[in-house]
Amino acid sequence: MPERRGTMGGLGLIGIVLFGAASVAFYRINDRIVWDVCRRENRPYRQDWTLSLYWQWRTLRGWYADARRAGLLWPRTLATAAVVLTFVGSVAAGILAGLPG
C-alpha cells in the first residue's frame, strides 16, 4: 500500500472550518431575510423557520427577490458563492491530495 502524504489532514481541517464559517454566514443572512419578510408581510417571526415547509418552498421560489427587498442581495450572493466554493475547493483538494506524485 502506498504511503499517504500528511497534507490532506491539514487541508481537510481548513476546508471544514471554511465551509462551516461560510455556512454560518449563509444561515445568518437568510435569517435576516426571513425577519425582513415577516416584518413586511406582518407575519410572526419564528426562530425555527428552517423547519417550516412554507419557508423551504419560499426560499426556492424567489429568495433573491426577497434578498434584494431586504437590502441583502450582495451578501446573499457572496454567501452562496462562499458555500459553493469552499465545498468544491475541499473536494478538489481531496482529489489532488490522493494523486500520486
Whether 2 is in a domain gets the answer no
Q: What is the pLDDT of residue 54?
A: 92
Q: What is the pLDDT of residue 91?
A: 82
Whether 1 is in a domain gets the answer no
Whether 65 is in a domain gets the answer yes
Contact 82, 22 (CB under 8 A): yes
Cite the beta strand spans of the chain per DSSP E.
Answer: none
Share of residues in the chain with pLDDT > 70 (%): 88
pLDDT in tens, 23-39: 999 999 999 999 999 99
Q: What is the pLDDT of residue 26?
A: 93
Q: Which residues of 10-45 are buried (b: 16+ CB within 10 A; e: fewer)?
A: ebeeebeebbeebeebbeebbebbbebbeeeeeeee
Domain coverage including residue 76: 7-98
pLDDT in tens, 49-70: 999 999 989 888 888 899 999 9
Whether 31 is in a domain gets the answer yes
Give the Cα separation of 37 and 100 in Å (integer): 51
If one counts the domains in the chain, the total is 1
Residue 6 DSSP code = T
Letter for the amino acid at 8?
Answer: M
Whether 84 is in a domain gets the answer yes
